Chain A
Amino acid sequence: MTTDLTRASAADLADLLSKGETSSVEVTQALLNRTDAVDGDVHAYLHVDREGALATARDIDARRQAGEQLHQLAGVPIAVKDVMATQGLPTTCGSKILEGWIPPYDATVVTRLKQAGMPILGKTNMDEFAMGSSTEHSAYGPTRNPWDLERIPGGSGGGSSAVVASFQAPLAIGTDTGGSIRQPAAVTGTVGTKPTYGGVSRYGLVALASSLDQAGPCTRTVLDAALLHEVMGGHDPLDSTSINAPVPAVVEAARRADVKGMKIGIVRELTGEGFQAGVQARFDESVQHLVDAGAEVVEVSCPSFTAALAAYYLILPSEASSNLAKFDAMRYGLRVLPEGLDDPSAEQVMAATRDAGFGDEVKRRIILGTYALSSGYYDAYYGSAQKVRRLIADDFNRAFEAADVLVSPTAPTTAFKFGDKIDDPMAMYLNDVATIPANLAGVPGMSLPSGLADEDGLPAGCQILAPAAADERLYAVGAALEQRLLASWGGPLLGRAPELSAARSTSMGA
């Protein structure tokens, strides 16, 4: 058999496994070998669980041999962002403050992966506590973009997208608070979905901003994203904000790939100025592909989106400042004793630990949020931000009266170089200008590759947004667009990515 198991989609692997043409152990081992070969350069993983993954693979193979009826994705390996609690596996959130912490419980999403029989390969790198758009804020060093090791893989979930883009895993779990699934997908040439808020349980997802966080799939194909979405999603009594309804029919929509008669809305505020020419060009072509596939294009305006970034950077730090208060050295994680004090108080230990354990970006946002929630400032900052949030939801509601889905470029630019924006938080924050509105309104969004920008040959992403609880529309549109793009490219976009050894020699020489 000549199939390169590391390059096969999850759907294809599931097919091969069910036909007995390969085994989960074989697949898992191939992926682990790939990790051994390339992750020294990419650094997508913070922790690889070889033994655990192979043990699950062996178990699944044995059960399949015994004739047991297994889940469709049983035996298909997956990587999990290090922000999800995994029983017995380190969970650091990319922070020193959680170094060495082994959760005693599984996140609901992880439980569902285990129930489906999916070997967990390891935990992927991320900006510390998911704060960032480049993974440069990981306390354990950045992940490198498989397309160019000198460039960022996006963030915060750069590890999950890079692990998929570098063929170390067909599937990964990401989380998206302001674009942390979609923007990394865009800059690595992969697919990522942020489901409707409440569509996937947040239980066990270490909270950045509770009202914005949502876990979702990171994959190389739209169908794979749908398959993983279906495994992850659904009601969870442990999460009060979880939607008590069946998962939308995402797999069916991805398979049908039908956009005939659908109205596609182009958001005026999310195109044109501020978007890299090559990114905009690929987006315009994507829209044309959808028209060719039978969709109708309308232009919609969402004027409040221009205030989304400002509102987001008040709500997120406010919630984060409170969510991150629990990291105090009292019960788990890092404990640092203050220097020069013989008999420090609990408060002094807390302060010393938080000073040593949190990185600058985390501290910046804790300070911002603490300020925004302070008495006397609450109404002006947190209160106003909540009003803007309402207006953005209203804009979406109006737009979805005119269009079935909205589209935009996912990120304004292709992957930038390490260090380009690290000292300019505003420039970094602007990366998420197109993705943030969906989080503020709780609506679902997907990014899929739209092609390579002419000026730098790097991947660009097309974002699709749908009304809350209509996640299946993302998959219908995404799959239709993917079909036409694949046909125009003559194969997957990732096929054009440089071989990693070659990429390394280029970067090493530079």
Chain B
Amino acid sequence: MTVVDTEATISYDDVLASFDPVMGLEVHVELGTNTKMFCGCATEFGAEPNTQVCPVCLGLPGALPVVNETAVESAIRIGLALNCEIAEWCRFARKNYFYPDMPKNFQTSQYDEPIAFNGFLDVELDDGTTYRVEIERAHMEEDTGKSLHVGGSTGRIHGATHSLVDYNRAGIPLIEIVTKPMLGAGERAPEVARAYVATLRDLLKALDVSDVKMEQGSMRCDVNLSLMPKGSTTLGTRTETKNVNSLRSVERAVRYEMCRHGAVLQAGGSILQETRHWHEDTGATTSGRPKSDADDYRYFPEPDLVPVAPSRETVESLRATLPEPPAQRRKRLQSDWGFSDLEMRDVLNAGLVDLIGETVDAGATPAGARKWWSGEIARRANAEGATDVASYAAERSITPAHVVELEGLVKAGRLNDSMARQAWEGVLDGEGTPTAVADARGLELVQDDGALEAAVDKVIEANADVAQKVRDGKVQAAGALIGQVMKEMKGQADAGKAREIILAKLTS
């Protein structure tokens, strides 16, 4: 018997030559409700430890849960947005296991009666093709507290001298969304995984049910992965990589586990069914605890809660509140705005869709809105480490109305493009509205043709040789004259008008 190195990897191409990947993604989403799943405690992120707790979420003897109706509504809306069926009657169940950050030593969750089931989410890939992710279920549960392991070097429990537990998170409503096994993605499996999580994130954001901040843990992803030998239809043994908490990590974790599984299987070994930890820094996973199907959570219906039985009328009224699906909305907006694919991609990547939409709604042209929100302000937001332009702008009270006003000043002929840029910089510097900045900085196109003509005459006289070239038909030489005129006018002239006058004087 050979000993197989379970931590070795082979190249991605080698994996694909022999195996087909099968993925299953479990995404936990913290709902953005004001109160917890089963009590009235606040859910604010980052509060002092153990200040948002009560007898219920601390699991004190005698305390009882009461279901948060808003959380149930959010769960149903998520289910509907994922094209799921909504249960007519379902119960909570207790998932029993001991852990210090779980106050009752059972998690109130759902087991075989999820609120939503049998759905799908269409995911658009980079090349424009669509992959349909089948959704197994979406169910409601409560979050656990948070353990902080102190005294070790790794922050993990191993080697720690003691642990601190913050129960503020205990009882925050979670929705767990579980896909069916995702087959047939082949070499695009990592991309599909990433695109699915990204699409899901956009959808949840559009539903306004969660702030979906992966870096704060309000959206967390577990990646199940197994390999099937090519041509086989039998699913392989899977591993579950926990807490893969960025889109990039999702993609990398899938790829890494594919390469690791491939190495083990190719060396004649077998995959140990276990949880794996993802390490962002090394881009690798390490072994966690073994997880077998024999893991016994002793689920049974939660006797302290009554069944959830949403009427069909309730479900339909919630369906009416669903927003346009983000992918559909993007297509519509691109067409409405007349953006090229590249322009739209840039706008999406910069997170500017909503801001541009608001600006267009406020009266700006789509091109103008794109231009002003993706230029200097994006550079500044990026340089100052802001998460996105919208929040950067909001923090500085820079609004779509400012863009509309700026465009208006150009359209009215008061500012030329370079003046408009100066005015915008003033707005970004906090000097006030575009008009106020233009007033303060004396930005104003000179409307007096007499002054312009005088300047042209002066420049022609001073540059007789260049003027002669224009007279001889070398029209492009006029550019040098225009530059001189603009300089003479201290920039406060319409360059187009200057060109008109020069050509009129020299070529007619």
Least Cβ–Cβ distance between B316 and chain A, in angstroms: 25
Known: A241-B306, A374-B296, A382-B300. A105 touches B60 (CB 8 A): yes
A230 at interface, CB cutoff 8 A = no
A446 at interface, CB cutoff 8 A = no
Least Cβ–Cβ distance between B273 and chain A, in angstroms: 16
Question: How far, in whole Å, are A96 and B98 apart by their CA atoms in the complex?
Answer: 20
What per-residue 1/0 map shows which CB atoms of A109-122 lie under 8 Å from chain B?
00000000000000
Q: Which residue of B lies closest to A105 (CB)?
A: B55
A210–B304 touching, CB < 8 Å? yes
Contacts of A325 in B (CB 8 A): 96, 98, 104-106
B165 at interface, CB cutoff 8 A = yes
Known: A241-B306, A378-B300. A85 touches B96 (CB 8 A): no
**Contact for A370 among B58, B165, B298, B306, CB less than 8 A:** B298
Q: Give the top 5 A-B pairs by smallest Cβ distance, nearest first.
A: A325-B105, A373-B298, A210-B303, A211-B303, A204-B62
Stretch of A145-153, A272-280, A287-295, A327-335 on the interface side: A327-335
Least Cβ–Cβ distance between B162 and chain A, in angstroms: 10
A98 at interface, CB cutoff 8 A = yes
A144 at interface, CB cutoff 8 A = no
B298–A207 touching, CB < 8 Å? no
A240–B55 touching, CB < 8 Å? no
Within 8 A of A (CB), among B285-331: 294, 296, 298-300, 303-306
A203–B62 touching, CB < 8 Å? yes
**Contact for A238 among B66, B94, B96, B294, CB less than 8 A:** B66
B59 at interface, CB cutoff 8 A = yes
B300–A326 touching, CB < 8 Å? no
**Contact for A322 among B58, B94, B305, CB less than 8 A:** B94
Within 8 A of B (CB), among A192-217: 202-207, 209-211
B67 at interface, CB cutoff 8 A = yes
Contacts of A318 in B (CB 8 A): 300
Question: How far, in whole Å, are A93 and B94 apart by their CA atoms in the complex?
Answer: 23
A107 at interface, CB cutoff 8 A = yes
Contacts of A36 in B (CB 8 A): none
Contacts of B94 in A (CB 8 A): 322
Contacts of B66 in A (CB 8 A): 237-240
Q: Which residue of A lies closest to B94 (CB)?
A: A322
Within 8 A of B (CB), among A443-473: none
B397 at interface, CB cutoff 8 A = no
Contacts of A322 in B (CB 8 A): 94, 96, 106, 298, 300
Number of residues from A at the complex interface, CB < 8 A: 44
Within 8 A of A (CB), among B35-76: 55, 58-67
Contacts of A101 in B (CB 8 A): 61
Contacts of B165 in A (CB 8 A): 330
Contacts of B303 in A (CB 8 A): 209-211, 241, 319
A375 at interface, CB cutoff 8 A = yes
Least Cβ–Cβ distance between A333 and chain B, in angstroms: 8
> What are 23 A-B pairs at a CB distance below 8 A?
A85-B60, A98-B61, A104-B60, A105-B55, A105-B60, A105-B63, A204-B62, A206-B61, A207-B62, A211-B303, A239-B64, A239-B66, A241-B303, A241-B304, A325-B106, A326-B104, A328-B105, A346-B163, A373-B299, A374-B296, A375-B296, A378-B300, A382-B300
Least Cβ–Cβ distance between A243 and chain B, in angstroms: 11
Question: How far, in whole Å, are A207 and B62 apart by their CA atoms in the complex?
Answer: 6
Question: How far, in whole Å, are A374 and B67 apart by their CA atoms in the complex?
Answer: 27
B100 at interface, CB cutoff 8 A = yes
A103–B62 touching, CB < 8 Å? yes
B351 at interface, CB cutoff 8 A = no
B103 at interface, CB cutoff 8 A = yes
Question: How far, in whole Å, are A204 and B54 apart by their CA atoms in the complex?
Answer: 13
A326–B59 touching, CB < 8 Å? yes
What per-residue 1/0 map shows which CB atoms of B89-133 lie under 8 Å from chain A?
000001010101001111000000000000000000000000000
Question: How far, in whole Å, are A105 and B64 apart by their CA atoms in the complex?
Answer: 12
Question: How far, in whole Å, are A374 and B66 apart by their CA atoms in the complex?
Answer: 27
A91 at interface, CB cutoff 8 A = yes
Question: How far, in whole Å, are A325 and B61 apart by their CA atoms in the complex?
Answer: 11
Question: How far, in whole Å, are A206 and B59 apart by their CA atoms in the complex?
Answer: 11
Least Cβ–Cβ distance between B274 and chain A, in angstroms: 19
A350 at interface, CB cutoff 8 A = yes
A104–B55 touching, CB < 8 Å? yes
B298–A240 touching, CB < 8 Å? no
A91–B300 touching, CB < 8 Å? no
Known: A210-B303, A210-B304, A326-B105. A103 touches B61 (CB 8 A): yes
A347 at interface, CB cutoff 8 A = yes
Contacts of B98 in A (CB 8 A): 325, 328, 347, 350
What per-residue 1/0 map shows which CB atoms of A327-351 lie under 8 Å from chain B?
1101110000000000000110010
Contacts of A206 in B (CB 8 A): 61-62
**Contact for B64 among A84, A93, A203, A331, CB less than 8 A:** A203
- B59, B65, B296, B298 — which one has the most chain A CB atoms within 10 A of its CB? B298
Question: How far, in whole Å, are A98 and B300 apart by their CA atoms in the complex?
Answer: 26
Contacts of B67 in A (CB 8 A): 240
Q: Which residue of B lies closest to A84 (CB)?
A: B62
Question: How far, in whole Å, are A325 and B55 apart by their CA atoms in the complex?
Answer: 16
Least Cβ–Cβ distance between A129 and chain B, in angstroms: 10
B65–A85 touching, CB < 8 Å? no
Least Cβ–Cβ distance between A425 and chain B, in angstroms: 22
- A91, A93, A105, A237 — which one has the most chain B CB atoms within 10 A of its CB? A105
Question: How far, in whole Å, are A98 and B61 apart by their CA atoms in the complex?
Answer: 9
Least Cβ–Cβ distance between A480 and chain B, in angstroms: 35
What per-residue 1/0 map shows which CB atoms of A207-250 lie under 8 Å from chain B?
10111000000000000000000000000011111000000000
Least Cβ–Cβ distance between B330 and chain A, in angstroms: 42
Question: How far, in whole Å, are A332 and B60 apart by their CA atoms in the complex?
Answer: 8
Contacts of A330 in B (CB 8 A): 100, 165
Contacts of B104 in A (CB 8 A): 325-326
Contacts of B58 in A (CB 8 A): 331
